Structure 1
Amino acid sequence: MSQVQHYKLDVNVVEPPSNYAEKFPLGKVPAFAGEKGFKLTETIAITLYLINLADPKSPLLGKNAKEYALILKWLSLSNSELLPQISAAFTRLTGAAPYNKKIVDDALAQADKVAAIYESRLADFTYLVGERLSLADLFSAVHFVRGFDHLFGSEWRKQFPNITRWFKTVISHPILHAKIGDYKFREKPVEYVAPKKEKKPQAPKAEKKAEKKADKKEDDEEPPAQAPKPKHPLAALGAPKIPIDEWKRTVSNNKPEVALKYFWDEFYNDEDWSLWKVDYKYNDELTLTFMSNNLVGGFFARLTGSTKFMYGDLVVYGENNDNGITGFFLVRGQDYVPAVNVAPDWESYSYSKLDPKDPETKTFIEKMINWEGDIVAEDGKTKAIVDGKELK
């Protein structure tokens, strides 16, 4: 990590050992293991801890509580909203993930929406927070590197001149310059190149003649028609009685009570759909409620490939440093896995099937759609819903 080298911290940066999953079940990197069993996961938490180790009064963390909160805002925005979109696009364009034009186009459009927030701020200010460089700038710039490496060509830079100016300034800071060096921008974004089909080896002439004879005998036989492969596993289920877009339009354009009446009286049926309660597995690791809500936003962004087959609401309940995430998904068919496994972090959540005939299910879904009400937490305490995200 750059901050370890810059501040000369007594921290060893190593590759994950063979028993890594025993300490960190999700297997994600980076992670931090300190003395007396102290452990940390999540990039933002580790970064803040290391800077505090080096200098608890570091100017990178702002000069007051307001600036510190703003820094956390930009850290969370870049990590939860910007980076997932950039990754979704360039991994498919470079062949690191299966190519899907819609996912790439949607990811690029969403990345530009997030970039517009940066562009607006930087139109009037040199830095993201206050009048001097902070961790918000360094952290965000690192995420923008991936975009500039693969996606942001000269045309993009003309559209976002303030980000480009700011990025050049921030990467010259010693913490980043030691790693990035003198950065060279690409002229055009990377383009997807379909893999070349392997040429079949040429058969000897004798074999070719035999093949031709065999072909003549089979000329009159119709080859079996092959069914087209569905673009998404749930597409194989065919069209439901009522398209999910009808429900999404209804819930978007009507009061919740009107929408829910339509949902139960007209839209929902057990043959086409199933309902699932969704709970985040690691509530004890959550800190600020807005960061928990951004975590949900990142999860939803990574579910883009399945939104034609599902709808949902996840809410954050509780307060800062004592909160949790819960909600529900409406899924085409009776298995939630094909809908959610397009997101790399889908296993960070648990899923339990809901009974649509149970009055408690209807009450729960009403709370989720309204983002209002109380939730009985894992510790048995009742906690109020404070925020939420809608997947549609």
Structure 2
Amino acid sequence: MSQGTLYVGEYARCFLVKGLVEFYNLDVTVAAKDAAYEKNFPLAKYPAFLGPKGYKLTEAIAVVLYLLSLTDDKSLLGKNEKEYAQIIRWLSFANSEWLPTAVKAFGPIIGKVPYNKKQVTDATAYLEQLAAVLEARLSEFTYLVGERLSIADLYTASVSYRAFQYLFGSEWRAAHPAITRWFSTVTAHPTLAKTFADFQFIEKPVEYVAPKKEKKEAAPKKEKKEAAPKAAAEEPAAAPAEEKKPKHPLELLGKSTKFNLDEWKRTYSNEETRETALPWFWEHYDPTEWSLWRVDYKYNDELTLTFMSNNLLGGFFNRLSGSTKYLFGSGVVYGENNNNGIVAVFLVRGDKHEPAFDVAPDWESYTFSQLDATKPEDKEFVEDVFAWDKPLLINGEKREIADGKVFK
């Protein structure tokens, strides 16, 4: 008796399910679309599975795991419950974060959806943040779950196809050697080898090319009629002056009257921090025009190597460039490899942090707490993060500073 019908399309989420049917020689019919599909799957999503006695299944992860359950091979599901939970974690990461973000980044560029520059910019930035998580994991382990290939590797690599096809050029691959090595290894597995047989890495990512506008035929010129003479020359009506819109929300606050941000940045860059820069800072700091914020990364438990954490911090700072005129910040990575965290202190124009930070698409990955310079413990924390010369007190524990970045 047939085990059912698998409905697939030319989508990355379908690559692995087709490969599983072929590799394990399952008694499953692979189809694209028919009357049964239209009747049973009104949302028209792929992959979909229709089994005996009307058994229906949709959603890629569910279909992948069900097909694997039809085999005697359990090696791809981990050695124990903990590993199986990690496999589900990475399957979910690939399906709900990695693939959709990549599609948002390249979809408008290739014309899949209308072009939206902000969408592409934001998605590309978030995709890089996701890539940092993957790179960190694969820099320490051969595969996503330990040192054995799992279904999580096969699925995640298969849905990475379009990202490598459109976005991940030679420069990106050089910056992410662990992901590139893993992708090449996993896609050579028999379940994916046929699909990826002719795949070639790109040299440069695709670029958006605006469609050419069709030239309109010039309308025939109309003969000008001589205007009747007027009794008196009329003064042309003055056009109403357009209000100048601020380029940045904080521009509405105007220039700071007491604290010169540029002078502070020069002082911090050229003078000794403890001896000269910090005394200058406290002398000129004006809490009526500026505020101080502690910024903590929310996902320290996912950080691995300290240099990767520092790269993550640097990426966040780069994406804040739109607020350069309204911010100064110092951020550090504290701790050691596989046990570290990210924290920063920012000087912000005004008394709210959102207008300055929402220029960065990943700003919500951080927690913001306002500091009060009149409190000795807050003032000391500001000085320690600005100076980098002594351990930080984090959750009651002294942690050494491993690396850091300055935003100025």
1:86-235 correspondence runs (5 A): 95-98=115-118, 149=166, 174=188, 181-183=198-200, 190=207, 193=210, 222-235=238-251
Q: Secondary structure at the match of 2:268?
A: helix
Q: Secondary structure at the match of 2:400?
A: strand
In structure 2, the partner of 1:57 is none
CA contact (8 A) 1:151 1:189 kept: no
Deviates more, 1:234-243 or 1:186-195: 186-195
1:249-328 correspondence runs (5 A): 249-257=266-274, 258-266=276-284, 268-328=285-345
AA aligned to 1:234 is L
Q: Secondary structure at the match of 1:98?
A: helix
- 382, 392, 399: which one pairs with 1:383? 399
1:339-350 correspondence runs (5 A): 339-350=356-367
AA aligned to 2:248 is H
- Percent identical: 39
Please state if 1:331 is matched with 2:354: no
Q: Secondary structure at the match of 2:359?
A: coil
Deviation at 1:349, TM superposition (A): 1.1
Q: Per the alignment, do residues 290 and 87 of structure 1 end up closer, same or farther by CA in structure 2, a change over 3 Å counting?
A: farther
CA contact (8 A) 2:306 2:333 kept: yes
Q: Deviations over 1:299-342 (max 9, x none)?
A: 22222222222111121222333322222111111111111112
AA aligned to 1:285 is E
AA aligned to 1:318 is G
Q: Deviations over 1:132-175 (max 9, x none)?
A: xx99xxx9xx99x96994797xxxx9xx8x97xx99xx979847
AA aligned to 2:256 is P
- 362, 384, 389: which one pairs with 1:372? 389
Larger-Rg structure: 2
Deviation at 1:280, TM superposition (A): 1.7
Deviation at 1:264, TM superposition (A): 1.6
Deviation at 1:227, TM superposition (A): 1.8
Deviation at 1:87, TM superposition (A): 12
CA contact (8 A) 2:319 2:361 kept: yes
CA contact (8 A) 1:150 1:189 kept: yes
CA contact (8 A) 1:274 1:331 kept: yes
Q: Distance in 2 between matches of 1:331 and 1:99?
A: 26
Q: Distance in 1 between matches of 2:397 and 2:267?
A: 34
- How many residue pairs align between the two structures? 277
CA contact (8 A) 1:2 1:179 kept: no
Q: Per the alignment, do residues 174 and 38 of structure 1 end up closer, same or farther by CA in structure 2, a change over 3 Å counting?
A: closer
Deviation at 1:88, TM superposition (A): 12
Any stretches of 5+ residues in structure 2 without a counterpart?
1-12, 25-57, 63-77, 129-138, 144-155, 214-234
Q: Distance in 2 between matches of 1:253 and 1:192?
A: 44
Deviation at 1:234, TM superposition (A): 1.7
Q: Higher helix fraction: Structure 1 or Structure 2?
A: 1
- 365, 369, 378: which one pairs with 1:352? 369
Q: Distance in 1 between matches of 2:329 and 2:109?
A: 29
Q: Distance in 2 between matches of 1:239 and 1:192?
A: 39
In structure 2, the partner of 1:236 is 252
Q: Distance in 2 between matches of 1:15 and 1:236?
A: 49
- Alignment RMSD (CA, Å): 5.5
AA aligned to 1:239 is K
Q: Distance in 2 between matches of 1:3 and 1:383?
A: 46
Any stretches of 5+ residues in structure 1 without a counterpart?
18-31, 51-78, 112-128, 197-218
